[in-house]
Amino acid sequence: MIDIIGLLQLNDKMTSAQIASALNIAAREVITGLLDLEKHHAVMQVNGFWSVYTKSKQHSILSVKILDIIKQWEVMSAAEISSITGASRSSVTHSLTEHVKSERMLRHRKDSVYFYKMTTVTS
């Protein structure tokens, strides 16, 4: 598994087939290793490509997921988004605050809960 991490550090991102070929091991072994490493937050997979886990990559992915969720549901609270994404509420709130500051989202308060919605359609 250390070989997988080293290879990903050198190549930024790779498919499991590319990793198997580079390490000359069976694809099944690579996938098993990658899934185990993913459980320990050592690697992450996005759109079929594996890379070494970093907080900045994870934050970017969460930010995009939040935009997609808000587009689908129109108005949501941080707690609802946290529940859907499985991310911590503080991470979700941080991303939402960045979206509000960049004027991609609006925030309004109802009772003691903040709700978020898109300001414009983003791609």
Query: What structural domains and CATH numbers belong to the chain?
Result: 2-53 (1.10.10.10), 56-118 (1.10.10.10)
pLDDT at 34: 93
Cβ-contact 47, 57 below 8 angstroms: no
The C-alpha atoms of residue 51 and residue 13 are separated, in whole angstroms, by 5
The C-alpha atoms of residue 90 and residue 9 are separated, in whole angstroms, by 28
pLDDT at 65: 84
Alpha-helical segments (H) within the chain? 2-11, 16-23, 27-39, 55-73, 78-85, 89-101
The C-alpha atoms of residue 51 and residue 30 are separated, in whole angstroms, by 13
pLDDT at 121: 54
pLDDT at 67: 87
pLDDT at 96: 92
pLDDT at 2: 60
Which parts of the chain sit beneath pLDDT 50? 122-123
